[in-house]
Amino acid sequence: MTTREVPTVKVTEITEADVPPLPNVRANKEWIAANGAGPRPEGVDAGHYQHIVLNTRTGELAFHCSDYRRSNKEEGYYPGALYAPSHWQGVPEVMYWVIDSGVDERPYHDVAEGNAFAHEVAPLAQTLLDHLVPVPGTDDLDWSAVAASAGLDIGRACSRHRNSPEGRRPWLIDLGEVVAEFPQLVRSYVAALDDTALDGEAENLVRMGLRPLPEARGGWQPDLAQHFGISDKDAHRFHAGLIGTRAYLYQHRLDQAAGLPLVPAEQWLDQHPEAVTADTTDAELEAFPDTARAAAAAEGTVLLGATRQAAYERRTALRQQVLEELAALGTARADAEKTVKAARAGIYSRLYKAFAWEGRPELTDAELGRLAQMSRQAVNKLREPLDDAAAAEEETARA
């Protein structure tokens, strides 16, 4: 099982220099009540600009205020990735919660109040960090039911009503807990999936929900809500479902490999270029998954993503390479022929000039051929029509 060093939450207190001035809520309300009459108060559109920010790698926790005087479209306006538990895929390095301040129930916090609030939610942040799960073979983290619930409780603390924590949500279930009773949820083929396909499988499990789809009832997808005693209302919550799926599947793949190295198909094909070439037949592509996995097993490795599609894409890429080389050679040949044609025309024009000379230098056809990189016979063949024409003119003159 992959482990990690869990950071300790450290509250970083901010100062007045780190925040924009507090909006004058009273002036804002009066201006709005007057239908915008008079000077526009600064901060009238500030909205919910205050946050709690957590760095999941370092443990740094802080109260934060975006500068509402800037556009929220500007890069860096928000302090990280919004804690948005809509899919439970991926843990941001830096995440933030929006504080529902600026309302009657919860006025905007000043710096002292904001720092105090950061200390208030620090235990929840520590619970969140303590229960994040490493994704084996990567630097990524994944959620657990406890970590996600702590995140939801920080969100409750950020509400205008400062709601108290609810602890672990029964409608969030760790995949490992489910697979222990329903092993069919993790299909046998996932142990041979590459990272991209495995991530897709993890997301499918997250989106599966706690109630089986109509087409899956009575089949591989169990009614998890019924089995774990989760109410129908909770089962249909927007956030309800399986969690920690990516970390579990990556660990499952490692466990199934039993210590053997995992090699992606692309890497294996790079190491074995003879396995798929531009000349590989369709029949050989069909057999590729079996032959490649057998060859990898003989080498003591586990091949990932060894699909017909992977082999087809490799052959397509190699054939495209041949076609690109053909096009390049065709262009080079055409350019070369143009050069040869121009050079030939230039050589012939200069030979004809030399043929017409009287007096020195008197060069033989062999000497001219050496200069033009041609045989004596070729030069002589060019000269013959000129000699014949000259002889004919001479004969005509005599007559």
3-state SS, one letter per residue, for 47-90 = CCCEEEEEECCCCEEEEEECCCCCCCCCCCCCCCEECCCCCCCC
* Residues in CB range of 127: below 8 A, 6 or more apart: 146, 147, 150
Q: Which of helix, strand or coil describes residue 173?
A: strand
Question: Is the model more confident about 154 or about 21?
Answer: 154
Q: Give the span between the Cα atoms of 153 and 147, in whole angstroms.
A: 10
Residue 94: beta bridge partners? 55
Q: What are the pLDDT digits (tens) for 66-93?
A: 999 888 888 888 999 999 876 688 899 9
- The SS3 of residue 370 is helix
Q: Convert the pLDDT of each residue in 287-309 to its tens digit.
A: 999 999 999 999 999 999 988 99
pLDDT tens per residue, range 230-249: 999 999 888 899 999 999 99
Helices (H), the chain: 25-33, 111-130, 145-157, 175-179, 195-207, 224-227, 232-235, 245-257, 265-271, 282-298, 308-356, 365-372, 376-398
Label residue 106 by pLDDT band (50, 70, 90). Answer: very high
**Average pLDDT score, the chain:** 91
pTM of full prediction above 0.85: no
The pLDDT of residue 24? 78
Q: Give the tens place of pLDDT for each residue, 159-218.
A: 999 999 999 999 999 999 999 999 999 999 999 999 999 999 999 999 888 988 765 545
In the three-class reduction of DSSP (H, G, I as helix; E, B as strand; rest coil), residue 389 is classed as: helix
What pLDDT, on a 0 to 100 scale, did the predictor assign at position 399?
Answer: 57
pLDDT at 217: 46
Q: What is the pLDDT of residue 385?
A: 84
The share of the chain scoring above pLDDT 70, in percent, equals: 93
Q: What was the pLDDT predicted at 397?
A: 59
- Going by pLDDT thresholds of 50, 70 and 90, the confidence category of residue 386 is confident
